[in-house]
Amino acid sequence: MIEMTQLHKTYLMGDTQVHALNGLSLTIGRGELVAIMGSSGSGKSTLLNVIGALDSFDSGSYRFSGKDLHGISQKDAALFRRDHIGFVFQSFHLLPYKTALDNVILPLKYQASVGREERRKKAAAMLCRVGLHDRMNHLPAELSGGQQQRVAIARALVTGAPLLLADEPTGALDSATTEEIMNLLIEINTEGKTVVIVTHEDEIARRTHRIIRMKDGVVA
């Protein structure tokens, strides 16, 4: 699914050049469950942003299912994300004034072929899938942290994107809830989704198929 060869990404911080990616090469196969680990400044967040077409890269090659993403325009990157990638973040990023159901409906509004009633049915079905059939009409403030993350996972999955990118998805959760969310991510992977998790937690990484360790902008 993901083929990266000699990727370079440099940021300017004042007069200083920061080589966030420094000739990185890796592959991630379709259906894998992968953890990305590394200390602060290792390049793991930049890598996740490049995989998700949230950030560009300076040179090298990135192919997603054979599609070359080098030099992709912002408009095409947005369409690529819409069709291929779901995102889950540590801080959930739910709209506080919308119910769980309405939060999950949001990405479907960018798919013109999906009508209003079908959007509601798809969102409701996905909330049932993550165990929130009785919380659909609750606002985020009325949900626990684990329930909010389940809403975020449902939102990431509802479009049918084949790749789920999770950036520290259990970082704001207690140990019991962390276990629940990780079990859910493993279930999603066994159903055919490719799942990539950025984490600093060894116990999370050990439950994945493979750990990609980063250091100084490359795979260590």
The pLDDT score that the predictor gives to residue 14 is: 83
pTM: 0.93
Residue 172 predicted with pLDDT over 90: no
pLDDT of residue 193: 96
* Mean pLDDT (whole number) for 101-117: 90
pLDDT for the residue numbered 16:
87
What is the per-residue pLDDT across 25-74, written as a single tens digit (0 to 9) for each?
999 999 999 999 999 889 999 999 999 999 999 999 999 999 999 989 99
Which pLDDT score is estimated for 32? 98
Q: What totals of helices (H) and strands (E) does the chain contain, helices first?
A: 7, 10
Q: Are 100 and 136 a contacting pair, CB within 8 Å?
A: yes
Residue 125 has pLDDT above 90, yes or no: yes
- What confidence score (pLDDT) does residue 195 get? 98
Is the confidence at residue 15, as pLDDT, over 90? no
89 contacts: CB under 8 Å, gap ≥ 6: 152, 166, 167, 168, 169
Percentage of the chain surpassing pLDDT 90?
Answer: 89
In terms of C-beta distances under 8 Å and separation of at least 24 residues, what long-range contacts does 109-118 make, across chains too?
110/82, 111/82, 111/159
The whole-number average pLDDT for the span 170-197 is 94
Mean pLDDT, residues 190-202:
95
State the chain's mean pLDDT as an integer: 94
Residue the block writes with tokens 């440099």: 10
Does residue 111 surpass a pLDDT of 90?
A: no
For range 192-208, the mean pLDDT: 95
**Of 186, 220, 188, residue with least CA distance to 203:** 186
Interval 145-164 mean pLDDT: 96
d(CA 170, CA 189): 17
Asked whether 143 and 151 are in contact (CB, 8 A), the reply is yes
| Mean pLDDT confidence for 136-164 | 96
DSSP 66-92: TEE-TT--HHHHHHHHHHHEEEEETT-
Neighbour count for residue 72 (Cβ, 10 Å): 16
Looking at 6-15, 131-140, 192-201, which range is the least confident one? 6-15
48 CB-side CA count, 13 A: 25
Does residue 186 carry a pLDDT above 90?
yes
